[in-house]
A and B are shown apart, each in its own frame.
Chain A
Amino acid sequence: MDKKKILTIDDEKDFTRILKMSLEKTGKYEVTTESESKNAFDLAKKLKPDLIFLDILMPGLNGFQVLDLLKKDKETVDIPVVMLTAALTDEIKTEVIKHLDKCSYMEKPVTISMLEDKIVKMLST
């Protein structure tokens, strides 16, 4: 069985590193991490991952801007995206609700089982 390719874009390098270790340890996933949001779109195009974890609050481009880029390109438009955020404030919640047709979302902190559940759910649809 092929390992599912997962791309994680988050400026928290420690978080992405542990997330990568945790997911890869299951043996089911191959995780690529990227901390620079501006590289996210190109990387996604190049890797063509099965799922993208995308942080919302990042320096430079924020998660929604990256999402817009991904959803505008026909090569990346079908890749499921899970938005990750630590602070689901009113403004962010409004934005998330606006983009719910294009993505799912999770609130940090997350556990491995929560991540796996989400991945399974997203990939099965």
Chain B
Amino acid sequence: MRIQAKLITLIVSLAVLFFAILSLYQFMKKRAVVEIFKNQLEEKKDNFNSVVNLGGIPLESYINDYTGDEMVRFLEKPDKEWAHTNIYAGLNSLYLNAAWVYSPDRYLVYSVNNLNDEKLQTVPLPKEAFDRIRERKKFCHFFVDTPHGLMEICAATIYPSSDPAKKEQPRGYFVAGKLWDSAYMNFISRLTDTSLEIVLSKENLPKTLNDPEMGVIYFLKPLRTWNHSEIANIKVKVSSPTVRTINRAIRVDFILFLFFITIMLGSSLFYVAYWILSPLFTISLALKESAPIHLMSLITLKNEFGDISRLIDDFFKQKEEIKKAYDELKDTQSQLIQAEKMKVIGTLASGLAHEVRNPLGIIMLGIDLLEQDIGPDKVEWRDTLSKMRDGAERANKIVVGMLNFSRQSTVNPQAVNLINTIEKSLNLVANKMNLANVKIIKELKSANPIVYVDENQIEQVFTNLFLNALDAMPAEGGTLTIRLLNKRFEELQNGVGRKVTELFQPEDAALTCEVEDTGTGIPPAIINKIFDPFFTTKPPGTGVGLGLSVVRKIIDSNKGLINVESQLGKGSRFIITLPLFKEEK
């Protein structure tokens, strides 16, 4: 896994961890809030119930007023006048709506209401309800449904004060009712700081009405009939500013934490990218491309990346030095090998020349002698002798070639006009060139053609090169171009086995001569071997393979460079660089 990926994974993991911690913290807080909420819910319920009970007190005191001796007397002798001034007046002053008086055998004795409703002449209760009222020693509270809405009913039995324990039969029943109309609902609502709604059926209500998040509390207050069954519910909605405040605080906390974490992780991501990944990328690029130049911006740093960059830079410098040393060693080695080869060939050549040319001398003189003795009629003998002479001459030519090759180390350099030398060599081969239909193009207008070389040797170089070019030309002929160019040090090209810097100084100028043919070209596989002694592509008997090795040796001895460029089927170009003549020499 790349460091980049690892670091990003680390940061992402940290982000996830932080987020998890934050979520856990949120969860805990919310649980606490729910706890607070629940407490508040109970508190509000109690509060609401107390208020509702409080609202029921006038009803109870009203009932209390009219279940004593006065009512016993009224039941014994009903006085409408009295009932109107007492019961009816009390009803209005206490904001109640209806009152009924029943005899012990549950016949209506007196009924009054301020709703002008005929239907409320009798109490909207079945007879059995009176049993329940009787069972209760004190008040009996419940709700009934009326055309005007829900009505809270309070009822009690009527006893004389002489029977405080209510052991005898009751003398009657007193029932009073109060409508839960919108005015009363508003009153309770205001008193309890709630909003109320009467719900007749619970089926349409959602399961949980509470919304702890918004601090809204709902609860249902059931309203029951005389036999305790639910007739309706009041949906109570209470707002809890405490819960809302706490919730808002938690939300603010969350946003602040999130902001903080984002800033923290974002800045660490930036830090990782800018201070770690960017230098790592630079170092990796420098190593990949082997280009310490990329490290320039890091090398001056005083941190670990600076240390690493300096080490890498040193490493590259050392590598460069080692490579240079290795190249020099290789050059020296190949030069030594070359020199040793030349020495061996030289020794071999002189030995061979002595051992071969002496017998050749005998053979050739002998042939001459025999030829003189043989009469002109002996044609076959003369032919044989002629062939023997050819053979001996061929053998001699090979030895001469080797001898020449071994002989080129002694140089007598002088100021030479290279144009003249080239012209001399061209004269030697001009006839052959003509016969082979080779066109010669001379581009010899050099600004300074005076070089410091051994003229005879350089003439041999050109002769060899021209003859090679001639041999390379196709049967239909071709073009030989000879081009002289004065070149500055930095324009010079390394030669075979020799570098420009070995022979020339930056202030030196040189003369370059290009010999270009339109011949068959040199296959790439052998182009490195053509300057080796005895390497030849000519058929046996036509060459020994010393021509180009002699050329190279002469150029080497004359402190020059030789190089070759070739394209198969198009031709070859030999490039010779020679030192210019300097007055102080």
Contacts and interface: CB of A to CB of B under 8 A. Distances in A.
Interface of A: 12, 14-15, 18-19, 21-22, 25, 57, 86-90, 93-94, 107-113
B12 interface: no
B569 interface: no
A14 B363 CA distance: 10
| Consensus secondary structure, chain B interface | helix
A22 B353 contact: no
B448 interface: no
Contacts of A94: 410
B351, B354, B410: most-surrounded residue (chain A CB, <10 A):
B354
A63 B409 CA distance: 24
A12 B360 CA distance: 12
A21 B369 CA distance: 8
Nearest to B393: A109
B196 to A, nearest CB: 134
Interface string B348-364: 01110111111011111
Contact of A12 (B351, B358, B403, B407): B358
Contact of B396 (A12, A57, A109): A109
Contacts, number: 79
Contacts of A86: 353-358, 360-361
Contacts of A14: 362
A26 to B, nearest CB: 9
Contacts of A110: 361, 364-365
A21 B372 CA distance: 11
Given A90-B407, A109-B392, 6 more contacts: A18-B369, A86-B355, A86-B358, A109-B357, A109-B365, A112-B365
A89 B357 contact: no
B407 A18 contact: no
B360, B362, B372: most-surrounded residue (chain A CB, <10 A):
B362
B358 A108 contact: yes
A36 to B, nearest CB: 17
Given A57-B354, A94-B410, A109-B396, A22 B361 contact: no
A93 B368 CA distance: 28
B366 interface: yes
Given A12-B362, A109-B364, A110-B364, A87 B410 contact: no
15 contacts: A15-B361, A15-B365, A18-B365, A18-B366, A25-B372, A86-B354, A86-B355, A89-B353, A89-B406, A90-B407, A90-B410, A109-B360, A109-B365, A110-B365, A111-B365
